[in-house]
Structure 1
Amino acid sequence: MKQEKVWLQHYPKGIPKSLHYEEKSLHSYLEEAAAKHPFKTALHFMGKNMTYQTVYEKARRLAYRLQQLGVKKGDRVAVMLANTPQSVICYYGVLMAGAVVVQTNPLYVEKEIQHQLKDSQAKVMICLDLLFPRVEKVRAQTDVEHVIVTSIKDYLPFPKNFIYPLTQKRKNNLRVHIVYNEITHPLKEILSTKAGKLKDYHIRPKEDLALLQYTGGTTGRAKGVMLTHYNLVANTKQCLTWMEKTKKGKEVLLAALPFFHVYGMTTVMNVSVMHDAKMIILPKFDPLQVLKAIQKHRVTLFPGAPTMYVGLAHQPKLKKYDLSSIKACLSGSAPLPLEVQEQFEQLTKGKIVEGYGLTEASPVVICSPIWGKRKPKSIGLPWPDTDAAILSQETGNIAEAGEIGEIIVKGPQVMKGYWSREQDTKAAFKDGWLLTGDMGYMDEDGYFYIVDRKKDMIIAGGFNIYPREVEEVLYEHPAVQETAVIGVADPYRGETVKAFIVLKEHQHVTKEELEEHCRKYLAAYKVPHQFEYRKELPKTIIGKVLKRTLSEEENAAEEKTNKTM
């Protein structure tokens, strides 16, 4: 199967059609930045700066200690940290040791931690002190031989480092007591001890793994996506090329996306290091803190999720802050409402564009041009050296322009496969193309459009209904702040459309008014039959709405009703 790259003719002039990808290890870019700009600020965290030389040296100290603990090339080291300087240091330190990073969500409960540690066969876990009790409960059932523990306060400036433990105990009533021994080690001590000579493990970028990134597990147990050094270097370079008007060594990135998610890891952390930029790290997303950070540090690049931009757009004090330093925002993980895009661009005078990707592709494959032609509701054009096409559900071949089918992709950023899951890996590819599971279409100019997740498609009375199309219409109503659409059981139609609605503050709209609004833009069979108002929607850490959770709640409610009948 072959797809003609009609999109190349719509690339902005400054973006080449193909790139040169160096076969280098991912961590070598940190080493180069430290050599070129040793005293340049690499990280800023809660009032404290850290230079590139300091970040590199501390990462090297961790690498040396890991090797002393027996970590060899290819061994897996799990990292379960919030956005802090330690998360950057540990990420690159693990790579320097020749090992593979296993990013672990700090929100995971014991069962999820145990599955990931057992599946990856990680030998070492690096975690926050507040998370240590969860790790300790499951460690005996895993291959973990050593646990390295750190605290957020370790890299806070005085007096925040003194106040932080007191406020945490008061807020959460947490008193974690850790006994350090031959198994449990303090990261602060490791990073303050000089390193000896590292064992020089030769990295083969196209073959050797840098990362095991676990998928969300929406269709079952989470799978480890195997991403090589080459995959991650390629996607980072593609991202930098797409941001053509940025200048190396001159940019300031806001790190509000979590580093333990592949989107934040690539578009913020790896981009910042490869671009010799300054990274402003926030431990969590708080709209007011983000506005303050943008103004104070003159942030130029702010990759985020739609819910972040929605949160900022509805922050009461928004107009009090100067956001004019923003050059570009890459939005991913969910559809970006047009209203929010227009409002944010008006406020910042910068550009905000929607992109598309998936963990299996490091993650970005398609994005709207930042300083080029954009089309409403389009996710944009494939990145340099990325093939994308639509797989016809009827013929099994490449679809014609405008035909809805499954989006398939190829490129240097596409994964090696799933960890220890040969059958799943085979099922993920067709003739060398990665099957994304997302439904969409390509227009005659090569611009791509998402219709919805293949598994989220609603079949009502024999008609295919894509929730995203309904959501886009609902977002156009002035009273709607957020929405999620799912299929629910219906005795007559098999499934019917239900919309969950979060209203903007001080707004009110009846279900009848929403239905009337939908009927203006949708065929009758697509109009939601049910509406439910919510104060908030369940979301992942990066702001993607958990439709699975909504479906589970609906199924549980239906079962309860059936039992009482």
Structure 2
Amino acid sequence: MSEIHGIGGPLPAIPDDMSVAQFMLDYHHPFRPVLAQPSPWLIEDSSGRKVWKEEIYSRTDALANSLSARWKIGENDVVSIFSPNSVDYPVIIWAVHRLGAIVSPLNPTQTAEELKHQLKSTSPKLLLAHSSNYATALAAAQIVGIAPDRVVLVDTASGLKDPAVRHATLSELIDEGVKQPKSFVERKLNPGEAKSKLAFLSFSSGTTGLPKAIRISHYALIANMIQVATFLKTDKKPLSEASLRPGTVILAVLPFYHAYGLAFVMHFTLFHGATLVVIPKFNFTDMLKSIERYRINYLPLVPPVAVLFCKHPDVKKYDLSSVRAVVCGAAPLSGELMTQLATLFPEAWIGQGFGSSQVISPFTAYQADDRIGMTETFTMIAMASPNCKVADPSSAGVLISGLVARVVRADGSLAPPGEPGEFVISTPSLALGYLDEKATKETFRDGWLYTGDEVIINEKAELFVVDRIKELLKVRAFQVAPAELEGFLLQHPDVADTCVVSLLDDFNGDLPLAYVVPSAAAQARMETDPAEGDRIKAALIKYVADGKTSYKQLTGGVEFTDVIPKLPSGKLLRRSLRDRARQMAKQGLLTSVPKAKL
């Protein structure tokens, strides 16, 4: 086998002379469905307010006008969004793109210390935050030198504890932009320029520590939308009967700062003629109410939410008969869960995709550890075939149209069908690399992405993930770098050495567990007082909880060890400790009981 091509034949023309905003608002691609009846683009979950294309268009241009007039936002300036989902999230993105500037979407649950790193990496000219995390945004902005008047609220000031704080709000900026003369000339791209012009700086956890900024071009996102549209045209049913068709009402609870929510949920489904019900904060019971209230048809999920559908008692209280499709990505979905979902939604199409998926492989005796996240391919590279009602749970899907893959053996040769090797990808949606040049050279080589995933691909272009060559964990579908937690733990005076591994959990995916070699002082205290060991473990768990965001906690606990096994080069033998921890968990021998809950 030399190369494997995704199904669906050659791609149609991909525009390379327009921004994402122009593609979404001003241009009609031949693969974009024409709606028989107009439908709103967005619905605000809390109020039921419907937002139509005309309103989005006018708010986008008004905001671009205000950003240009007030702060001179323009060519290659970075604007960071530190907010949960909002109906104005796409307005912010497309307004920034109108000006030739770059969007950096950020996780709104981060601590000020975590946010500081990302702001330092991208040097934004403006930071848009929500009232719920405005204090965090101000603290991080002060550290990196962003003036307080460049921190803007995306909602009203009602959530602020200090009413005396002076700030601009998004609504004020839009009103201002409507009233004043036009102050900007929209950035037009030359032929081919969309391939190099940055649209996003999105963050993905690095295996060696802190998250890395990934450089995403306008062309990459536009290409992926067209790739997915081409793939869906392989459906044997007419478009009017497809699970994802014009007028479909989509659940938009997945965070828009994440590649899955940003590229697929927000951009592709709107391109495909859907309506998004935008939910800013996840609450399972409230989400069930929204599905019933808005007759939602299509559920893009991550497996922790799928687990709740299968186990939460409130599911039976609501009418979910409108659901005709459930698609999972970003983390593992077992065959058992697929079966339970098919029982819960007997009329629905059930599948999963590899944009950042994780699966149970039939070729191995352990759970696969796929961790690339695929922000680097922005975002989908494999999807369940639209022609099967319930997808094969052992497969991460079929390679989508326009993608070329190689399976590379350890010796650099190409593996034949059915034989494992590293997953290497070429796709028109490929990112331009990281801001970090060294990291770029390690992962992006001659137009190919070396994912670090060990996979098997068969003759039908079906993808099976076998193992994760790199070391990222996935906690509730979020990437966690063990090295980041290890570096943080090593700053604690009671820690001489450490290695973070994972236990497995149906809901959370990975539960980070830290093996710790106590410092000499800690060891001496434990020898004097046997109860001191438990106090140290509790203190380390709290230390991480106080310093890291919610999904980067030591939910697997802390275990003491005499030594962290390493190669002569110093590389941690993480897998040996991982296997030891999972075996001990099965035998009930762990001294720290995992604290994960549904």
Note whether the superposition's TM-score is higher than 0.5: yes
Q: Provide the rounded CA distance (Å) in 2 between the counterparts of 1:152 and 1:345.
A: 39
Question: Structure 2: which 5+ runs fail to align?
Answer: 29-33, 234-241, 356-373, 474-500, 516-560, 566-572
1:147 corresponds to: 150
Instruction: Give 2:452's match in structure 1, choosing from 429, 437, 441.
Output: 437
Call closer, same or farther: CA 1:325–1:241 in 2, change over 3 Å: farther
Matched, 1:296 2:281: no
Aligned counterparts of 1:84 and 1:293: Cα–Cα separation in 2: 15
Change in CA separation of 1:294 and 1:409 when aligned onto 2, cut-off 3 Å: same
Structure 2 residue aligned with 1:25, among 10, 19, 29? 19
Q: Does 1:306 align with 2:322?
A: no
Choose which of 76, 79, 82 in structure 1 pairs with 2:78: 76
Amino acid at match of 2:319: D
Match of 1:346 among 343, 349, 355: 343
Q: Kindly tell me: are residues 492 and 51 of structure 1, through their superposed partners in 2, closer, same or farther at Cα, counting changes over 3 Å?
A: closer
How far, CA to CA, are the matches of 2:300 and 2:62 in structure 1? 30
Distance 1:125 1:39, change over 3 A: farther
- 1:430–1:282 distance in 2 versus 1, CA, 3 Å: same
Distance in 2, Cα, partners of 1:368 & 1:107:
31
- How far apart are the structure 2 equivalents of 1:4 and 1:148? 47
**Deviations 1:58-104 (CA, angstroms, capped at 9, x unpaired):** 12111111111111111111111101123222122211222100111
User: Distance between the aligned counterparts of 1:103 and 1:486, measured in 2?
Assistant: 25
Distance in structure 2 (CA, Å) of the matches to 1:370 and 1:28? 29
Output the TM-score relative to the length of structure 2.
Answer: 0.71
Change (3 A) 1:294 1:283: same
Mapped contact 1:263–1:363 kept (Cα < 8 A)? yes
CA positional deviation for 1:16: 4.5
Q: Which range is displaced more, 264-273 or 372-381? A: 372-381
CA distance in 2, matches of 1:339, 1:27: 41
Q: Map 1:367-446 to 2 at 5 A.
A: 367-372=383-388, 374-393=391-410, 395-419=411-435, 421-446=436-461
Q: Summarize the Cα distance change of 1:531–1:456 in structure 2 as closer, same or farther, 3 Å threshold.
A: farther
1:407-466: CA deviation from partner (whole Å, max 9, x where unpaired)? 1111011101112x22221111234320112222223433211122213499xxxxxxxx
Distance 1:186 1:199, change over 3 A: same
Q: Distance in 1 between matches of 2:80 and 2:139?
A: 16
Summarize the alignment of residues 78-477 of structure 1 with structure 2, pairs less than 5 Å apart: 78-142=80-144, 144=146, 146-150=149-153, 152=155, 165=158, 175-180=161-166, 184-193=167-176, 194=178, 196-197=181-182, 198-203=184-189, 204-244=193-233, 245=242, 249-348=246-345, 349-357=347-355, 358-372=374-388, 374-393=391-410, 395-419=411-435, 421-456=436-471
Secondary structure, aligned partner of 2:353 = strand
- Determine if contact 2:408/2:422 at 8 Å carries over to the other structure: yes
How many angstroms apart in 2 are the aligned matches of 1:532 and 1:390? Answer: 40
Structure 2 counterpart of 1:28, which letter? Q
CA contact (8 A) 2:252 2:261 kept: yes
Identical aligned pairs, as a percentage? 26
Say whether the 8 Å CA contact 2:250–2:297 is kept in structure 1.
Answer: yes
Q: Deviations over 1:188-242 (max 9, x none)?
A: 2112231533312223321211100011244212211011111011112223344
Cα distance in 1 for partners of 2:169, 2:4 equals 55
Q: Which runs of 5+ in 1 are unaligned?
A: 9-14, 155-164, 169-173, 459-466, 502-510, 516-527, 539-565
**Number of equivalences:** 470
Deviations 1:20-59 (A, max 9, x none): 322332112442489x999742221112222221122112
Kindly tell me: are residues 108 and 32 of structure 1, through their superposed partners in 2, closer, same or farther at Cα, counting changes over 3 Å? same
> 3-state SS of the aligned residue for 1:308?
helix
Alpha-carbon displacement from aligned partner over 1:489-521 (angstroms, at most 9, x marks no partner): 7979972415669xxxxxxxxx89x56xxxxxx
Amino acid at match of 1:57: S
- 2:62: which partner in 1? 61
CA distance in 2: counterparts of 1:267 and 1:178, whole angstroms: 40
Give the alignment's TM-score, normalised by structure 1.
0.75
2:596 match = 536
| Equivalent residues of 1:217, 1:223 under 8 A apart | yes
Report SS of the residue matched to 1:364: coil
Determine if contact 2:333/2:393 at 8 Å carries over to the other structure: no
Report if aligned partners of 2:248, 2:274 keep a CA contact under 8 Å in 1: yes
Q: One-letter code of the match for 1:449? A: F
C-alpha distance 132-251 of structure 1, shift in aligned 2 (>3 A): same
| Distance in 1 (alpha carbons) for counterparts of 2:426 and 2:440 | 15
Distance 1:118 1:481, change over 3 A: closer
Q: 1:140 to 1:320 in 2, by over 3 A?
A: closer
Distance 2:331 2:562 in 1: 27
Paired with 1:62 and 1:446, the residues of 2 have a C-alpha distance of: 44
The alignment partner of 1:221 has SS state of strand
Instruction: Give me the whole-angstrom Cα distance separating, in 1, the residues matched to 2:425 and 2:107.
Output: 27
